[in-house]
Amino acid sequence: MNVIQSRFYAWIVVLVLIWGGSEANPVGPRRRHLDVHHKKPLQTFRPYNVAHRGSSGQIPEETTRAIEEGADFIEADIVASKDGYLICFHDVTLDATTDIANHTEFANRKRTYEVERVNMTGFFVVDFTLEELKSLRVKQRYDFRDQQFNWEYQIITFDEYILIALDANRVVGIYPEIKNPVFINEHVSHSYTWQTLKDNLLYLRNVEAFYSELHNMTV
C-alpha cells in the first residue's frame, strides 16, 4: 500500500464568504450567502473534537450530523464519481456500506481493478455517475454500531459536506482526506474533476494550492 499517497490530509478552516451553485451539478447546492460575522468562533479552551467520518458511531459514516453533537471539525474522505464530482466516501468500492447489491440495474458494473498494487473486485465509485450514486442508500460498516439509520441516507458530495459546516451557527472546520488519488486519477478525467470543483462552489482560500498539490501526487 502506498500509505503516503493515500493519506494526504488537508485542513481548510471555513471562514470565508462562499458563493455556490451550478446548473451543471444535478444535486448541487443553490447559491447562498453566509454571514460569518455572527458565528461563534472555533473554541480554543480544550483540544479540538474531530468527528471521524461524520458521526459514524451512530449514523452511517460520511453522512454527518456531528455538528449538532458539538464537533469542532468534521472529517470526511473524498473520492470522485465517473463524471468527476467529488463525493464523501471512504472506499473505492461501494460494496461494504451501500445497497448497491440490491440494485439489479447495476449488476453488470462489477469490475476487478488494481488499486495500490492489490487486485480488488466490486462496484467501483469511478464507474458510476453522481446521479447514479445518489440513487443508492448507505448503511453502517460495522455490525456493532447502531443500525437504525441504515438505508435512510444518501452519499453526499464534497459541496454538501462543506455546506453542512457552513450552515452551523458557529465556525466549524472541515478535515477532508483524499482517498486513493492515484487510482482515482487513472479512472476519472482530471480536467473535469478540477474544473467542476472550481465551477461549483469552492473559492476557499486554500483550494488552489490544495488541489494542485493533489494533482502533483499522481506522478
Ligand X SMILES: *[C@@H]1O[C@H](CO)[C@@H](O)[C@H](O)[C@H]1NC(C)=O
Residue 54 Cβ vs ligand X, minimum distance, rounded to whole Å: 19
Q: Could you tell me how many residues make up the chain?
A: 219
Is residue 117 within the footprint of ligand X (CB under 6 A)? Answer: yes
* In the complex, least distance from residue 112 CB atom to ligand X, rounded to whole angstroms: 7
Q: Is 212 one of the binding residues for ligand X (CB under 6 A)?
A: no
Q: Is 114 in the site for ligand X (CB under 6 A)?
A: yes
The C-alpha atoms of residue 206 and residue 151 are separated, in whole angstroms, by 35
Q: In the complex with ligand X, which residue's Cβ is closer, 46 or 117?
A: 117
199 binds ligand X (CB under 6 A): no
From residue 24, how far is each of 14, 28, 30, 118 by CA, in Å?
Answer: 24, 8, 12, 35
Using the contact rule CB under 6 A, the part of the chain among 56-64, 68-76, 83-91, 110-118 near ligand X is 110-118
Write the interaction track for ligand X spanning residues 66-105; mark x where CB under 6 A is met and - where it is not. Answer: ---------------------------------x--x---
| Among the listed residues 108, 119, 191, 216, the single contact to ligand X using CB under 6 A | 119
Contacting residue, 82, 134, 137, 179, with ligand X by CB under 6 A = 137
Position 111, amino acid: R
Nearer to ligand X by C-beta: 141 or 190?
Answer: 141
**DSSP, residue by residue, 163-198:** HHHHTSSB--EEEEEE--HHHHHHHS-HHHHHHHHH
DSSP string of 28-75? PPPP----GGGSBPPP-SS---EETTTTTTTS-TTS--TTTTT-SEEE
Min dist CB 134 to ligand X, Å, is 14
Q: Does residue number 147 form part of the binding site for ligand X (CB under 6 A)?
A: no
CB atoms within 10 A of CB 103: 16
Is residue 152 part of the contact set for ligand X (CB under 6 A)?
Answer: no
User: Do residues 79 and 151 lie in contact, with contact meaning Cβ atoms separated by under 8 Å?
Assistant: no
The helix (H) or strand (E) run that includes residue 209 is helix 207-216
Least separation in angstroms between CB 88 and ligand X: 19
List residues near ligand X by CB under 6 A.
99, 102, 114, 117-119, 137, 151
